[in-house]
Structure 1
Amino acid sequence: MRRLAVLDLDGTLTPDTLGGLLVRELMARGVCDGEVGREFLAAVERHDLGGQDFFGAVSEVYQGLGRLLAGVAVPSVERAVEDVWAQARGRLFGFVRPLLRMLEAEGFLVALVSGEPIEMVGLVAEDLGIDVYRGAQMAIQRNRYMGQVLQGPGRSGGKPDILQELASLHRASLERSFAMGNSLSDAEILALVGFPLAFEPSPELADLAASRGWRRVDRRDVLQVLPVLLAGEQGGEGVPGA
């Protein structure tokens, strides 16, 4: 059976919150309402700071995203996405491309799964040569956003549902799969794979990783720890899958 390698984006492959950068770009272009944009950015900041219900904060961010993009033409967002990533790609962590080569050499099917808008996730995945990706999807009609978030991976249960979908679609074994992320939404995936890795984890994820015996890494040692993890010297509490 195949093995998946599921990677988070913000805080894991890049230090940026790409959705926040995108909204700032849309505001600068006059594409979206400035007041709604500022409310959205405030919600993102509250979420990033923590100290509140994590998934409640995620829901607030998604609601704000829906309000922000309601009525906006899809091409306007796609052009902004291209410009944002053109600037942000230079801040991608240096380990990312070697890590992808390492995973591919080990036979993993790499998937980029992020709570960011699918337009952004897809562009990043294309740049990195990742064929499988999932992100937040908005309802679209007549090439304009309708204001509803149809799929929000950052929501409670969002990433595990995607993981199960990918495992079924690609006939992958979760017990032999790998995942890496930095937040509580990633913890839901880390708990389902045989090889979990908490990358520069949030305080909540750090506590969970300590209690479950998951390895913790940072941008300096991840390329050294990953081969050891995949060799089976550190498993974690992975749950066997199909």
Structure 2
Amino acid sequence: MTHDDSAARVAILDVDGTMHPRTIGLALLHEMRQRGLGRGDAIAEVMTAVGLLRAGSIDFPEMVARCTAAYAAALADVDPTQIIALAQVTWQELRRELFAFVRPLIARLGDAGVTPYIVSSSPHEIVALLAADLGVADCHGSRFTVDAGRYTGACEFMPGAPGGKLTLLRQFAAARGATLSRSIALGNGPGDLEVLAVVGRPLVFEAGPPLLTIARDRGWPQVDRINVLDYVDRALAS
């Protein structure tokens, strides 16, 4: 197989459960609850939806829909500057838990001329801090609508919704003249399936069902925190 070595490449990178062992948006929500910030009943609804998914009582799209609505409701009428300040405090704790491979991964992508793009369903307020910490210029988290200096209780964009990450990836790649067939995706859950399917170098990170079954059926490399850099090196060299 031949390819154009001069073609631009991007790497779309998931956060929750992939670069970080926790869901950083839930960690932020936990801190909100601890401080009595936001609607407590809506925060509880988010946690309930996550629990129902883990118990197999609802599927992933329903969990995303429920969590999106409840997270937005939890933020309603809160001053965004309070969430930004709390995200900074929360990230200072979370940053210590980043998987050890993450910083070397970003460095290797940069050395190879591949543009990293961090995309997560966690709120942009905390995803942006992770990206800045890693020196990554491009990121996208869930965005909640603000009007007159307050969150309105609505969600502007949720990457984890069907088609969300795929839309972002296509826009990002097109803006940079990147070739998806030579680009990389690293993810661990159903929300990453669409981007894993369109890139030429999909890497499935410590996934459970149903993504694990799909990865096996399609012959996608299954990687873990120990060998992921080896697989990234292979992807960059091909």
- Cα deviation for residue 42 of structure 1 reads 1.6
CA deviation string 1:162-201 (max 9, x = no partner): 0111011111111111010000111110001010000001
Residue 80 (structure 1) aligns with: 86
Could you tell me which of 152, 163, 170 is aligned with 1:157?
Answer: 163
- Percent identity (aligned): 38
Could you tell me which of 2, 5, 13 is aligned with 1:7?
Answer: 13
Could you tell me which of 102, 106, 110 is aligned with 1:104?
Answer: 110
User: Is the partner of 1:175 in helix, strand or coil?
Assistant: helix
Are 2:213 and 1:207 equivalent residues in the alignment?
A: yes
8 Å Cα contact 1:20/1:44 also seen in 2: no
CA deviation string 1:213-236 (max 9, x = no partner): 10000101111222123333xxxx
Residue 32 (structure 1) aligns with: 38
Residue 238 (structure 1) aligns with: none
The one-letter amino acid of 1:62's match is T
Aligned counterparts of 2:54 and 2:23: Cα–Cα separation in 1: 9
Residue 151 (structure 2) aligns with: 145
The one-letter amino acid of 2:155's match is V
Residue 4 (structure 2) aligns with: none
Listed as ranges, the matches of 1:86-235 within 5 Å are 86-232=92-238
Unaligned stretches of 5+ residues in structure 1: 233-242
Aligned counterparts of 1:45 and 1:135: Cα–Cα separation in 2: 22
8 Å Cα contact 1:47/1:58 also seen in 2: no
Unaligned stretches of 5+ residues in structure 2: 1-6
- Cα deviation for residue 94 of structure 1 reads 0.4
- Cα deviation for residue 19 of structure 1 reads 1.2
Q: Which moved more, 1:41-50 or 1:66-75?
A: 41-50
User: Is the partner of 2:169 in helix, strand or coil?
Assistant: helix
TM-score by length of 1: 0.92
The one-letter amino acid of 1:194's match is G
8 Å Cα contact 2:184/2:199 also seen in 1: yes
> Taking structure 1 as reference, are residues 80 and 50 closer, same or farther at Cα in structure 2, changes over 3 Å only?
farther
Residue 237 (structure 1) aligns with: none
Residue 239 (structure 1) aligns with: none
8 Å Cα contact 2:193/2:211 also seen in 1: yes
> Taking structure 1 as reference, are residues 49 and 42 closer, same or farther at Cα in structure 2, changes over 3 Å only?
same
RMSD (Å) for aligned C-alpha atoms: 1.2
Number of equivalent positions:
232
User: Is the partner of 2:92 in helix, strand or coil?
Assistant: helix
Aligned counterparts of 2:118 and 2:72: Cα–Cα separation in 1: 22
- Cα deviation for residue 202 of structure 1 reads 2.3
User: Is the partner of 1:113 in helix, strand or coil?
Assistant: strand
Listed as ranges, the matches of 1:27-66 within 5 Å are 27-50=33-56, 52-66=58-72
Aligned counterparts of 1:51 and 1:227: Cα–Cα separation in 2: 39
